[in-house]
Amino acid sequence: MKQRIAALLICTLFLAGCTAPSPAPAPEVKLPAQTPQDTPRPEEEDDPSAGQGEETQSEADALSARADEIVSAMTAEEKAGALFIVPISGTALSEKERARMERCHFTNVILFARNIGTREEVRALTGQIRAFSEQRSGLPAIIGIDQEGGTVTRLDGVGSSFPPAMAMAAGNDADAVRRAGEITGEELAWFGINMDFAPDADLNTNPANPVIGVRSFGDNPDAAAMICAFAQGLQEGGVLATVKHFPGHGDTQTDSHKGLPVVEKTLDQLAACELIPFRRAIEAGVDAVMTTHILFPKIEADGVPATMSDAILTGLLRETLGFDGMIVTDSMEMAAIAEHYGVEAGTVAAVCAGADLIIAPSDAAKQESAYEAVLQAVRTGEISGERLDAAARSVVLARLCIAARESAARTPDFAANAEEAVQCAVRSATLLSGDWRAPSGRVLVLSPEGKRVSVSGGGSFGAACAQRLAFDQMTVDSSPTQAQIDSAVQKAGGYDAVLIAATGTGCAKLAAAVGQKNAAVSVFLFGSPYAAARYAGVASVVCFYDYSSTTVEGAVRMLEEGGAPAGTLPVSPV
């Protein structure tokens, strides 16, 4: 642990420390030997702090000792409150929220889209949270956010929005992915946000997965390189990186926000696939790991999800994989926990299992009841004093690391960053079927509007093409009506080419009908590549992975510049 802190102090990376005393032994979990493709390269095995000198190690020792001092002086109530990171309601900290945070000794806050106003408002909000935390505890708060890119983008409109993970991976450039992480980290740090619940380390092995999809960097263990690159970039940018959702949410057909998924895989099967990105990220020094609310009955005998499992969090993650950073839960208000176990019982079980930081529900009453449940469990001994101290120490050490490096935050060049995000989208363009021929002559674009789409030269892909490329456009729904399909078919015969912007499978009927009238139909798929099978028979399908302003701008830019799709599909076609 101290070596990891030493590396932080040298590289100005923000690495969270290990918990203090080890918790009680968990059921033994043994991983198979590493497979050849999973064997770390020699440079990955190097100790990042080797040869850095006694001065840095002394600073690391001091930071570690300071964490011990702080925890030893905290009351049980303060330690219990330190384990939570809580949502708030608006763009400023209200008096009711301040009062509740005082009662429950909360200082850490997670931000969502509802908390994001202008750039100045975001900085003012994080300043309020930090000031409150320092007044109450003498330490900066952990201020977290989900800023993955693509559809999971909380700072849309005020920060640079990169395409989703699968699009980044399609660009096939690990350094560009690292740079995307670095830009994201720099901007978050400037906003006063010091923890990103990203990257998503799930391998999307199930094409029917309803919640991961393009949030994943791929469906095989090779994606670990891109996952580690993005995490490295975040840390270089100045924020805490979190790989999620351990031990893997990629092979499910149930969204844990809405239900309780079950993964029927053995440990050997997980070790050969899902665990590889997590193991590689841990070896590379990732700061935090987020748990998943999924049942793994073949490795967890007690019938509880990973978030509540001692065998998975302590046995597998801590003892077998050797992770010594901070373990964070996914939100405890998700249906997988709230509806099946209850927020309070689930929270207590998560802490007992080895979780350090609990993402609390948005509901104020549930925040308080979860805190009271933890405190009561401490008083009765259900949560041991040793486990409470270990979790509190992990959180305190992370906050000390924040304090040690906050002055290094850089002022972002938002315009240059936005351009890098667009270039990432251009590189992501992936030819999924057919032969690419740039549309020329008289071109008709059939395009949906999109609430997140606002590109230079127009409010949608079609509008931008009309203004910047002199294409004709017709607006259709994401699942066009029969009247829209009939109108498009009537128009299509008079054009040299037709370009359909699809956000999923909804335009399949439109594409088939227009293809009967015009052979030069291309589909730009602004969504999951798994939808491509529904567009068989068109001249070409090109995937851009999401329908955001950044990605649509990248698609228009590729057409303007006469480029061709050069991305590599990171998942197996269906």
CA angle 257/259/261 to nearest 5° reads 105
Cβ contact 6:52 at 8 Å:
yes
What phi and psi, each to the nearest 5 degrees, are found at residue 233? -60, -45
Instruction: Using DSSP bridges, classify how beta strands 143-145 and 195-196 pair: parallel, antiparallel or unpaired.
Output: parallel
Give the three-state DSSP class for 474. Answer: strand
Burial of 40: CB neighbours in 10 Å, binned 0-12, 13-18, 19+: middle
| Preceding omega of 40 cis (within 30 degrees of 0) | no
- Residue 7 to residue 163: CA distance in whole angstroms: 30
Q: Are 268 and 314 in contact (CB under 8 A)?
A: no
Give the contacts of 327 (CB within 8 A, at least 6 positions apart): 288, 289, 291, 313, 317, 318, 354, 355, 356, 357, 394
Sheet holding 108-111, edge to edge: 326-328, 288-291, 240-246, 195-196, 143-145, 108-111, 84-87, 358-359
Residue with tokens 């409010």: 459
Return the structure tokens found at 115: 């908390």
CA distance 220 to 132: 44
Q: How many CA atoms lie within 13 A of 536 on its CB side?
A: 4
Give the active site residue among 196, 251, 287, 330. 330
Catalytic residue among 68, 257, 340, 472: 257
Alpha helical stretches, state H, 433-522: 461-469, 482-492, 508-515
Per-residue DSSP letters for 264-323?
Answer: ---HHHHHTTTHHHHHHHHHTT-SEEEE---B-TTT-TT--BGGG-HIIIIIIIIIIT--
d(CA 343, CA 349): 10
Q: Are 312 and 296 in contact (CB under 8 A)?
A: yes
Closest by CA to 386, choosing from 84, 19, 61, is 19
Nearest to 554 by CA among 428, 414, 413: 428
Residues near 524 by beta carbon (within 8 Å), at least 6 away in sequence? 461, 499, 500, 501, 502, 542, 544, 555
| Bridge partners (DSSP) listed for residue 144 | 110, 195
Query: What is the distance between the alpha carbons of residues 518 and 514, in angstroms, rounded to a whole number?
Result: 6
- Return the axis-axis angle of helices 385-405 and 343-353, rounded to nearest 10°: 80
Residue tagged 């009662």 (tokens): 103
Catalytic, 330? Answer yes
Catalytic status, residue 257? yes
Task: Kindly list the catalytic residues.
Answer: 257, 330
